Structures are given as C-alpha cells and as structure tokens.
Structure 1
Amino acid sequence: MAVDYTTRDGIAVITLNNPPVNGLGYSTRLGIVEGVERAQADASVSAIVITGAGKAFSGGADITEFNTPKATQEPTLHTVIKAVENSTKPVVAAIHSVAMGGGLELALGAHYRVASAGAQIALPEVKLGLLPGAGGTQRLPRAVGLETALNMIVSGAPVLSEKLAGTGLFDHMADGDLLDAAITFAQKVGAQSGPHPKVRDRKIEHPNAEGFIQFARNGVTPLAKNFPAPLKCIDAVEAGVKLGFNKGMAVERECFVALVQTPESRALRHAFFGERAASKIPDVPSSTPVRKIERVGVIGAGTMGGGIAMNFVNAGLPVTLLETKQEALDRGLATIRKNYESAVKKGRLTAEKLEERMALITPTLSYDALSDADLIIEAVFEELSVKEQVFSKLDQVAKKGAILASNTSTLDVDKIAAFTNRPEDVVGMHFFSPANVMKLLEVVRGAKTSKDVLATVMQLAKKIKKTAVVSGVCDGFIGNRMIEQYLRQALFMLEEGALPAQVDRAIEKFGFAMGPFRMSDLAGNDIGWAIRKRRYQEKPDLKYSKIADRLCETGRFGQKTGAGWYDYKAGDRTAHPSKIVDEMIAAYSKEQGITRRKISDEEIVERLVFALVNEGALILEEGIASKASDVDMVYLTGYGFPLYRGGPMLYADTVGLYNVERAMRRYGAQANGEAWKPAARVTQLAAEGRGFNS
C-alpha cells in the first residue's frame, strides 16, 4: 500500500509510504483522499495528521509515472489538496526530512503544519523548466512572505525548516518525536470549533510588493536568457499578489501548461531523467552485490591523478598516491594543497577540513604500498606500453578482489585488461579534466569486466558525486569518439572558407561553453596532433584536413605556448584572433586548390552538431552506449553542450530526424562530403517519424 491509515488517541494518521521519497503517484494520491474521507466519516476521529514514512515527508511527483496516463489520472494533486483543504476536521501536516515540490504544496493545503528541524523545504520545479503547478506560487507567498517565497520559487533551492520557523509556514516546531508532537497538536486543534485556517485565505503582506517583483524580474532576466521558467514563476506570483488567489491559480496553470511545451523544459526534464537512467545498466540488476571500497590507490600525481585523488578524499576515503620520483610526488601534493587553499579562501572549505583531507593522502614511491587498496586507478601517460608496465606490476601487488581501473581516454581497455591475469577485475574509469571539478565519469566496460565490478564503480561514482555513464570498448569511447568527428568538420570548414573565430562564435552563440578552436588551444593542440598521427597509421582511408598539423608544425600548441589558433598575452587567457593563423589558413586553401566561400553560422552549427549526432547514432547501433540519453549525459556533463538543448541526441529529436537526415545528405554532396553518410539508425528513425528518445 502506498498509504497507511491508522488511528491513535482520536487522531487519524495518514502515512505516505511510497519509497524512496513518498512520491505522489496515483495510488498515493488516491490513498490520501480515501484516508481523509474515512477520517471524516469516523465520529471517534477529531483531527487528521498526514506524514511520511521513512526518509521523507514527500519529495513531490512520482517520477516513475512521468509521461504516463497515471500522472494525470484523478485524483490529481489539485484534487487531493482540495480534499485536504475542505476537510471539516482539521488536517495537520507532520513534516520531516524532505518536503519538496508537490510534497510542499500538499503540506500548504493542510490547515496546520508541524515540522522537525533539518527538513529540506523546496519548490524545485524551476530546475525542470517548470513552475510549481499545484498552488505553490500562490500559497507559499501567503505562508512565508513574498520575498522569501519568490527567492525559493525562482531558485528552486532547498531551505532548512528551522530557517523558516519564524514565518507563517509552520505552526509548531517539534523538539522530540515528530509524530507525537503532531498528534498532541492535532488533539488541541481538533477540540476547537471550525472553520480551520486555510493558507489560501491569507493576504500577501509586503510594504512594496510591486517594486520588489520588478526588482526580482530585473535580477532574473539576464540569467534567464535561455530558461523561460524563472520569469514565468514571477508572473504567476505577481498574479496572486495583484489579482487574488483564484485568478492567481488560473495564471499559474496557464504558465505551467505553456512551460511544459517548451523545448527548454523538455531538455531539462530529459537531463533529469537521463542522469538517473545512466546508473541503470540493462544486464546488471540493482540487486547485484558490490565490493567494499575502503581504501583507494591512485598512480600518477600529475594534474589528472591529483584531481582523481581529491574526489575520493573529499568523500572521506583514504588514498595512497604513487609516483615514480619524489620531486613529482611533492609537486603533486603541493598542487592538491593549493587547490584546497583556494577553496578555503573562497569560503567553500574550512582550514580544519583542508588538513583533514590532506591527512587522508598517503604519498609513496613504492607499488607495494598499494597492496591493501580496494580500488587502484592509474593516471599515467596515454601510451599502451606504459599502461602495460603499470598493470603488469599491479597484477603482482594488488590484493585479490581489488578493482584495477584505467583512466585512459582512448586506449583499448580489453588490451589493458589482458596485461593481467584478472581481466574480470579491470574497468575503465575515464575522468575529465579537471577531475576534481568535472562531473562526468565514463565507466568503460571491458569484454570480461565482471558485473559486480561495474555495479561497485557505479555506486562509488554517486559517493564521489559524479555522473557515471557506461561505455563499451572502442577508440575514444563515447565522448572522445564523437568529438573527433566534430573537430574534423571544424577543420574542414576552415579550409573551405571559415576562420577559427567565426566557427567558435557560431557554436558558442548556439550555447556551447567553448568553441572547438578555443577548446583545442586550452587542451593543447599537440594532443590532437598525436591522435591524428595515430589515425593516419590506423585508418589511412579516413580523410583529415592537414591544416591543424601545419599549425602544430610551427609550435603553436595553444595557451601553454602563448599561441595556437589564437594569440595569447602572458598571464591572460583571452583568445585574440591571429593574423598569422588566418593567413596560414588562406594559403593552405590555395595550395589545395580550394576556392574559399562564405560559410553561414547556420551551416557551422549544423555541421558541428549533426557530426556529433551521426557518430552518436553509430555508437548506439554498435551497442557502445545502451541508450540515447547516455550519449546526451556525456555531452551535457563533460563537453559543455548547452543544458537547455538537452544534448545532441535530444536536440536532433527536437529538430526532427527527417530534417537532420536531409541536412546530412545536403552536406554529403559538398566538398569533404564523404564524412556525411547518415547512420542506419538516423535513416530508419527518420523514415518512421520517430526520434532517438521516442
């Protein structure tokens, strides 16, 4: 049962029981209404308490019912709140742990609210591109005041219950057992004659409501350029202030319906569900046992290794950090300390926490020190022969059952696993730089990686606050394999007529955090050069523009050399268009017999994004990724794809695969067109009128 009904000392207790967060699914909503009606019909009951079992009062809508008929089946949340509000016997909401979204809206519909300290109170719908759709924009300002409510609704951020104790939201803060306090309070109000107070009947008090709303709108407008929900939240709240509760509710509904249809909300909801879906692996059930990870080993104290180590000590896990030379080890530890000191200066970390975290790191020059580690991650030079040395040594020193992980970004994990006598314990854990900041973790599943290893790493990713996405073994896995085609198109467009600044400007206007040429300068152009050299040997038939090779031959490796696709000034990362590079590009085109042409921003965006889409489709066909949303999560969390567009695969769905395929065929008829054969999945879905996420 999603709702339990009991009576105690003349009080009906309706307990939401829909783990993990008592989501307000159909059976829960039905149970609440039936419980209220049952209590009203029982002459021995004087009042009603609604609370939540387990670790939440209620986290709001049941996400398992999103996009299903049950989500809108009566009784809807509006109907439930109406039943609670219109109860002739007083209803007390007993709030603990979490009251968010529809859960808070339900509590606001009760006549009284009793809360325990430490409960997280929020209306987070704005984070899904929506607004609270069951009266939250109307009742919360009447309960906590206009300013506090508007800040909560527009930000979606949770506020601790004790910080709201002085507002009209809570009638009583419980010191001891919450249910005991709520029943005692319910007995008291149950003995009083009605009618009982309704939040909807309160006035919104503010000395200058109109001025504050305009102030809020001015503050939100620049930040909400690509997200319409925050401004719609303000519109709904304003309607409640100016027009009263009933008309405010009508505006709230109107705004909610409008937002549901926006591509931005679709993108945000897609990202929300995609992040949760990423942890679900088709053939690895949630019941799969996991290995205990109590100590981690990291090999390599460079930028990547140090960042990886920080993730684990941040989560309270001790790390043994291995380097081959004392100087490199000292430098790595100094960099880690410097990163933490920067966090202390910014107020994000205390000096005590800094020392606690540094104390969790055991530096070493000996592989033997890794013998007690439950997980060992190597972050050494990206060369297969170097990986072979590391994993051969680990096979000798690591204890039985230890997970051996490679941070490789492109190399064959199966070949790496074959350097050991325990390939079932080997997995790829590809962190993104800077590893202590970037959210993405590509978990690369080898042919022999055991299911419990995979389940353990996915669980551990949550502990270190990463979004983990599983990839099969292929060159570059999901992210780097796709970015290679993106970069190929960028280079082709240079030789056809574009310049680096135009390409970057077009894709950044589309929403990318950084264009391909600024990104290459930041990463180091020599890295891409090394990959291309390998490609020339492995795939001699694959066409590449040699324009980037020529850049590298002049030593323009990017920011680290003060010159790349752009010019840089000492101590300044600002990218300045380079006359030298522009002239080099024009000369290259002439040498190749290419007549340069004007390339529109629209073409730049389509060729870059659709190159990602086509390679993503091939990755899905090959089973490297199990679902389109996994591809999108890689790009949203690791590559700066604009969140409000939902990732390359969802963006293709939004454009329509019929239109995407037509564009691919159009570009296939141009110069460098051999890169544009649409993947079979693109052609099939386009013909069926479906999308990757249908």
Structure 2
Amino acid sequence: MTDFIYEKDADGIVIVTIDMQGQSANTMNEGYVPGMDEVLAKLRAEPDLTGVVFASAKKTFFAGGDLRLILAIEKSDAETLHYIEENKRPFRELEKLPVPVVAAINGAALGGGYELCLACNHRIIADVKGAVVGLPEVTLGLLPGAGGVVRLTKLLGLEQALPHLTEGKPVKPQAALKIGMVDAVVDSVDALVPAAKAWIKANPDAHAQPWDQKGFRYPGGDALHPKVRQLIMAAPAVLYQKTRGLLPAPAKILDIAVNSMRMDYDAALLVESRGICALAVTPECKASITTFFFGMQAIKGGKVRPEGDHWRAKSAAILGAGMMGSGIAWAHANAGLPSVLKDMEMDKAEKGKSNTATLADKRIKRGRMDAAKKDQLLSMIVPATEDSAFEGTDLIVEAVFEDIALKEKVIPASFAMLGEDGIYGSNTSTLPISILAEACPDPSRFIGLHFFSPVDKMKVVEIILGEKTSEDTLRKAYDYVQQIGYMPIVVNDSRGFFTSRVFGTYLDEGISLMVDGMNPVAVERAGWMAGMPVGPLAVHDEVSLVLSQKVANTHKALDDRLGVDSGFGKHNTASKAVCDAMIAQDRGGRHYGGGFYDYAADGSKSLWSGLDQFAQGNAKIDIQDAIDRLLYRQAIETLRCLNEGVLRTEVEANLGGIFAIGFPAHTGGAIQFIRGIGIDRFAARAAELADAYGERFALAASDFDILREKVVVAA
C-alpha cells in the first residue's frame, strides 16, 4: 500500500493518508483502484473499527481523474464503461462501511477528489491558501462521472447543485460551508484530523448516507415539486443561451441530474457512467483537455520558456498614459509592481492613474475589494512627465500611439533610464519589432509586449521576438508577464505578428459576407452560432474602423519606406473598400458616434440602415457556409503563422487564439479545431470554400505537413 498510508489509533479510528508515489498530486491513476480495494478490504476486516478519516500527504487533497487516461479513450464501448464503473465503485463501497467516514480536506479537492468527499459522511476543510472544493469536469468537456452529478444533486437539491455542476467553478472554504458542500471549517491543516476524530466520536452511528436512509427527501423538493418542475422546464433554454448548443457536457449534466431524481440511486450512478463515456470521445472533450489542461500546464510549467533562473521586476515605467498605458499600470499595481506612469503632461498622467481608481471602485461596489486595497494600488503608481523619474528601473513598457515615427523618437530617449539588467518592451499590435529595435541603443534588450484591450480583462500578452532580441531578454519578459498574472504567448517577428493577423481575417470575412449579399443581421448571427464572443461587425465597431484604416496606411507607408511589398493584409480587400467608404461617410466606429451600428443614448444599438449600399451580390449564403467562412479563415491564417515560424508551438497558437482573439473555446483553439475536424477533412472543406469564395481559403497540401509531423506540440 505504497500509495495509501494506513494507520489505526487507540480509539479504533483509521487514518488513510493518500500519497500517490512519483507524482505531485493524488489522481485516479493505474494504482488507484487496486490501492482503494486493498484499503477497503482491510477496513472491512478491521476488528473494533469505529471510524475512518481520509487525508492527503500532498499539498492538494485529491486532483481526481487521470486526464491522460481519459484523453486516450477512443471508443464509447463496454470496455470504457467498465473503466469508468471501476473507478467509481470504491466510492459506493465506502458509503456502505458500517462506521462514519470523514474527509479531511487540506487543499484543493476538485473533480474526483471532491467526489471522494461526497462519498464520505462528513466533510471538513481547512481554511488555508489553495483549499477549494468543486466539480470542474464540465470545463474539460466531461461530467463528474464518479458519482458527482448524482450525489451533489442529492446533497444540495437540483437548484443549488446545477450551477456547480454546469459551470464547474471552485468554491472556497467559507462559501462551501454556507452552501453545504462541506460540513465544517477549521483554521489550519493540523486541526483537520483531530476535528475529524472528534466528529466520529460524537457521531458513532452516522454511517448511513442521507440518500441511503428511508424517507430521504431532496433539499428544495423532488422532480415533481412545482418549483423544481418549473426549474426543469426553464433550465434547457437558459443553458442554451449560455452555451449556444456548442457544448455537449452541460446539456448532458442537466439531463442526468434531472433524471437521477426519477430513478433508483444505483441506476442513476450507472446512467452517469454512460454519460461520461459518451462525452469522453467527443471533439469538444478532446479539445478542452488538450488545450485547457495540458496546454495551460505547458505555459504555466514553463515548457515554452527559455531555460534559466527566474527573474522578477522590482520597478517599472510605462510611457504613455492613454487607454493601454493606464491599463498596464493597473495590471502592475494589482501585482504589486511599483510603476512610474509617464506622459507629456501631468494631467494626462494623473488621468491615467485615475483609471486604476475607477476600476478599484467598481470592484469595491461588487464586494471584491476594500478601500484599503484601493489605496494600496494607487500608491503603486507614480505619475510623471520626466524620464528621470524612473532612472535605473528594471522594466520600461513603451505604450505610446501606434506611430512608428513617434516610437522611434521615444525609444532611444528613454532607454538610457533602464537599469543595467533591465529590459525594454514596446506595446505594439502590428509594427515589426526588428524595425523598432533599430532605434534602440541595445536591440538585444528590446522586445515586443503586445497587451490587449481592455487590459484589466484581457489577461494575455503577446511577446514578440525581434531579430536581435536575446534569449535572456525573452526569459525576463516571459517571467514579467507571469509575474503580473498574465498569460505569455511567444511569437517571432512579423507584420501583424499572430493575433492581429488572425483577428483581421475575422473582421474582413464578416464584411465579405455582407458584400456577398448576406443580411448583416445574419452575418452577426453566424458569428454567434460559430461561438465567437461578438459578431464581426459589432467587434469591428468596438476596435474602430478608423484604427483598421490607420493600420493599413501605416503598413503601406512602411512598405514604401523599406521598398518592399510585405503582403500584409493582402486578402483583407473587403475591409479596405468598405472601411474607407464608411469613414468617408463619418462612420468610424462606436467611439466616433457610429459605424456598422447606430448607438442610442440609452445604450442600445441597431445595425445601420445604410449597410445595404455595400452588397455587391445577392447570394443566398447558407448559414453553415457563413460559420465555416468565419472560422476557417482564422484557422487558415493561424496555420500560415505556424508554417511561417511566426508561431512557435501549437499550444501558444491555441491558447493565444482563444484568450486574445476570442476563437471559440469549445474548439480548443484554431489548430486543435483543424485536428478535431481531421486534417484531410479540413483540407477538403477549405478547398471547397476556396472554389466558392476565393483564394484566401486556398492551401497547399504541404501546408499541413507541420501538423502531420506533430513537431510543434509543446505539451
């Protein structure tokens, strides 16, 4: 029993401490079921047994299922069902022990870990950092298949259980106690086992679960209760509004939770097992596990980070107190990084700092921050108008307007203030870092740091390597981005880099659909049905048509200056034609009073009636064609970035696309979207779109070699 430490005290209470060997967290690995069977056999044979306490030797309590094993499931067949049933069987046997069983939760008990707790008679959690409970399987395209759906519905009732089952958010100790997900909270890990033993001694007969006792009633009422029946009728529509029908897991969870109330307990557990078998083989599940678990692990675990000691900035300067600069100042303050916020005029610098006060006030209003924390944040930001205010700083983030001439003036003037080991980052969305680096006295310490707007919500930074950027600078930039709690996505230098290139294709394809004759309402609907956060016309208004025009003009001017044809945005012909025409009609976007939409004083909006002037055809475009055009266009551009070496790994392609651009999360990202469809099927569909709608969808067979060879998978 190397994975389970078995100790019996003088009072007949057995402490089972889970300590899976060779791994940092306890999981349902290959040794889990044999180990639990051995524990249960020993408990059943134990003379004078009075109680059982499950504890953990790890920092977490129990991390649940082994996702590598689940990812390897290829068929929803009898063998898969047996695997699932075997993993959950020990929990049912635990419930049948003739003594009380207590879970002593010292850290995170998520997924299968919390399902173990649910099979216990009493749950005690330590109110310490990292201690949470919950069932996050839905976020990985799965359902809690080790009894979680059935038991939580019985424990809390349908109304209270559904949000935790269909959203999967972790719950901290005090909140979990209030909800009823745990029964007691102690203030330290050391107090857990004594509290568990005390409860067992005080409740020697509390060994039958409520749902195994005669006369059990669901909290809030059973499936026939009027209030519950009303909930059951409304829930599918509410769920569809949130998922758009793109996520099979929440719908399956709802179905099983409701029907578990209408059948025998053990039968409900079997239905639950069949449900997870069906979900485990879906593209959505494979995509979610690949991207959101293993992909995130690769980023957080430093698999794409240059080797070397970790670096931490102790001071920073931000040049430009506009929307981006003030947002970066907020991010720094929130992470405890003191920063000078510099602008040409003090009132502008002060206004930039006030953005942090505004964001803090919103959080105070929602109960997520107090006045003392606000004061602390504001103390981290020092407005200034002179470079000397940040002499010797560890980090400079240049966030002035997207104007190459201005940046080339600011960079050399401010670089002298950088500390000996500091790095200089330029916040730019499209301008080549290698060209900007020519203005830097030491280009090896110069790097691109592309933040996204609004900075307080878009927690991802595109790190762009210039031709002369050193690995040491990349390592420091990577560590800095993680220091402030953001996700780093590393790309090589290119016009538009990765995110701006791909985002531009989404905007352009939306306009192309409109030009082809599709009703603008249907265009926006196609974006919604595809799973994009906002329709292409609406989001274009938010970023502004004027900005799109400026970007195009900037790159044309840059081409003229360098005497080259970069080909940047060469396929975005619809955007160029329509945006120029709309701006000429004073329709520059939301900030300019109106664009694709008209905006009313009460905050409502409606599509501009003048858009029909741009329809050059009257094509009856199938809605699926429209959805595919919006998604394939982005996926194809992402694949091009991968082939060109702009993107370095599939992991960064997928996560960057989701978190920076809004590529539909259920796909697992653009490259995983291609893999989920199948490379050959995707290529065939892209060829169909190219034949019907133009060369922007055209790909050569060799473009897919990089995926077939699997040479860029970081995880």
Fold shared by both chains (TM-score > 0.5): yes
**Which of 667, 690, 698 is the aligned partner of 1:668?**
690
What secondary structure does 2:621 align onto? coil
Q: 1:687 to 1:648 in 2, by over 3 A?
A: closer
2:608 is aligned with 1:577: yes
Instruction: State whether residues 98 and 121 of structure 1, in contact with CA within 8 Å, keep that contact through their aligned partners in structure 2.
Output: yes
In the other structure, the counterpart of 1:539 is: 565
In structure 1, which of residues 475, 480, 501 is the aligned counterpart of residue 500 of structure 2? Answer: 480
Judge which range, 403-412 or 252-261, deviates more. 252-261
Q: Is 2:671 the counterpart of 1:649?
A: yes
Shift in alpha-carbon separation, 1:140–1:621, aligned structure 2, 3 A: same
Match of 1:214 among 229, 238, 251: 229
Report the count of equivalent residues: 681
Partner of 1:592: none
Q: Deviations along 1:634-659, whole A, 9 cap, x unmatched?
A: 23222233333433333333444334
- Contact kept in structure 2, 1:3 and 1:14, CA below 8 Å: no
Match for 2:639 among 599, 604, 617?
A: 617
User: C-alpha distance in 2, partners of 1:169/1:338?
Assistant: 35
CA distance in structure 2 between the partners assigned to 1:492 and 1:238 by the alignment: 44
Partner Cα distance (2:261, 2:521) in 1: 48
**Alignment map for 1:582-661 (pairs within 5 Å):** 582-583=612-613, 585=614, 589=616, 597-661=619-683
d(CA) in 2 for partners of 1:276, 1:216? 37
Post-superposition offset of 1:423: 3.5
Q: Could you list the per-position Cα deviations for residues 257-288 of structure 1 after superposition, in whole angstroms to 9, with x for gaps in the alignment?
A: 23334444444434422333344665646x63
Matched, 1:149 2:161: yes
Q: 1:141 to 1:305 in 2, by over 3 A?
A: same
Query: If the length of structure 1 is used for normalisation, what is the TM-score?
Result: 0.86
Change in CA separation of 1:479 and 1:195 when aligned onto 2, cut-off 3 Å: closer
Deviates more, 1:415-424 or 1:511-520: 415-424
Q: Indicate whether 1:93 and 2:119 are aligned.
A: no
1:199 and 1:693, CA in 2 relative to 1: closer, same or farther beyond 3 A? farther
Counterpart of 1:426 (choices 440, 443, 446) is: 446
Change (3 A) 1:419 1:207: closer
Structure 1 CA distance for aligned equivalents of residues 358 and 625 of structure 2: 44
Instruction: Say whether residues 1:560 and 2:575 are aligned partners.
Output: no
Partner residue of 1:393 out of 407, 413, 416: 413
**Alpha-carbon displacement from aligned partner over 1:45-70 (angstroms, at most 9, x marks no partner):** 86543211242211322345442479
Deviates more, 1:618-627 or 1:77-86: 77-86
Instruction: Decide whether the 8 Å contact of 1:50 with 1:92 is kept in 2.
Output: yes
Q: C-alpha distance in 2, partners of 1:207/1:494?
A: 50
Determine whether 1:470 maps to 2:490. Answer: yes
The 8 Å contact of residues 458 and 660 in structure 2, kept in 1 or not, is answered as yes
- % identity of equivalent residues: 27
- The CA distance in 2 between the partners of 1:511 and 1:347, in whole Å, is 31
C-alpha separation in 1, matches of 2:654 and 2:40: 44
| Paired AA for residue 301 in structure 1 | A
Distance in 2 separating the partners of 1:166 and 1:557: 50
Task: Indicate the residue corresponding to 2:148 in structure 1.
Answer: 136
Asked whether the equivalents of residues 658 and 689 of structure 1 are also in contact (C-alpha less than 8 Å), the reply is no
Is the deviation greater in 317-326 or in 59-68? Answer: 59-68
Q: Secondary structure at the match of 2:396?
A: strand
Distance of 2:133 and 2:175 partners within structure 1: 10
Structure 1: which 5+ residue stretches go unaligned? 590-594
Change (3 A) 1:280 1:185: closer
**1:120 matched residue in structure 2:** 132
- SS of aligned partner of 1:349: coil
Query: What's the offset of the Cα at 1:434?
Result: 0.9
**For 1:77, which of 72, 87, 97 is the aligned residue?**
87
Mapped partners of 1:450, 1:430: distance in 2: 18
Q: What secondary structure sits across from 1:15 in the alignment? A: strand
Larger deviation, residues 125-134 vs 175-184: 175-184
Partner of residue 65 from structure 2, selected from 47, 61, 66: 61
Quickly say closer, same or farther: Cα 1:230–1:662, change in 2 above 3 A.
closer
- SS of the residue 2:648 aligns to: coil
Q: Distance in 2 between matches of 1:126 and 1:238?
A: 16
- What do you get for the CA RMSD once the two structures are aligned? 3.8
Q: 1:275 aligns with which of 272, 275, 296?
A: 296
- Once the two structures are TM-superposed, the CA of residue 463 in structure 1 deviates from its matched residue by 4.7
Name the counterpart of 1:7: 7
Q: State the alpha-carbon separation in 1 of the partners of residues 704 and 514 from structure 2.
A: 28
- For the structure 1 residues 228 and 661, does the alpha-carbon distance in structure 2 shift closer, same or farther, using more than 3 Å as the test? closer
Contact 1:521 1:557 in 2 (8 A): yes
- Alpha-carbon displacement from aligned partner over 1:66-96 (angstroms, at most 9, x marks no partner): 4247998699531442454455776442212
Task: Choose 504-513 or 9-18, whichever is displaced more.
Answer: 9-18
2:674 partner letter: A
Question: For residue 239 of structure 2, what is the aligned residue in structure 1?
Answer: 224
* Kept in 1: contact 2:687–2:699 (CA 8 A): yes
Amino acid at match of 2:136: P
2:335 aligns with one of 298, 315, 323: 315
**Measured at CA, do residues 582 and 350 of structure 1 come closer, stay the same or move farther in structure 2, by a change above 3 Å?**
same
Give the drift of 1:687.
9.0
Decide whether aligned partners of structure 1 residues 8 and 220 sit closer, same or farther in structure 2, where only a CA change above 3 A counts.
same
Measured in 2, the distance between the counterparts of 1:463 and 1:100 equals: 26
Distance 1:96 1:576 in 2: 54
* Contact 2:304–2:714 (CA under 8 A) maintained in structure 1: no
Q: CA deviation at 1:136?
A: 1.5
Give the Cα–Cα distance (whole angstroms) in 2 for the partners of residues 324 and 481 of structure 1: 31
CA distance in 2, matches of 1:112, 1:500: 56
* Cα deviation 1:121-177 (Å, max 9, x = unaligned): 212222233321011122234445555434432342333444555888667654662
User: Residue type of the partner of 2:268?
Assistant: G
Using the size of structure 2 for normalisation, the TM-score is: 0.84
* Cα separation, 2, equivalents of 1:649 and 1:437: 24
Secondary structure of the corresponding residue to residue 209 of structure 1: coil
Q: CA distance change for structure 1 residues 603 and 16 in 2, over 3 Å: closer, same or farther?
A: same
Verify the 8 A CA contact 2:84 2:146 in the aligned structure 1.
no
**Cα separation, partners in 2 of 1:428 and 1:44, compared to 1, 3 Å:** farther
> What do residues 344-398 of structure 1 show as CA deviations (whole Å, max 9, x unaligned)?
3344433333222212211111212222432221111112332233332333111
Maintained 8 Å contact 2:683/2:699: yes
- Contact 1:556 / 1:564 at 8 angstroms: preserved in 2? yes
- Residues 608 and 123 of structure 1, relative CA distance in 2, 3 Å threshold: closer
Q: Are residues 284 and 265 of structure 1, via their aligned partners in 2, closer, same or farther at CA, if it must alter by over 3 Å?
A: closer
Query: Equivalents in 2 of 1:356, 1:663: separation in Å?
Result: 54
**What residue identity is the alignment partner of 1:539?**
D
1:530 to 534, 550, 553: 550
Counterpart Cα distance in 1 of 2:458 and 2:102: 44
Residues 187 and 513 of structure 1: CA distance in aligned 2, closer, same or farther (over 3 Å)? closer
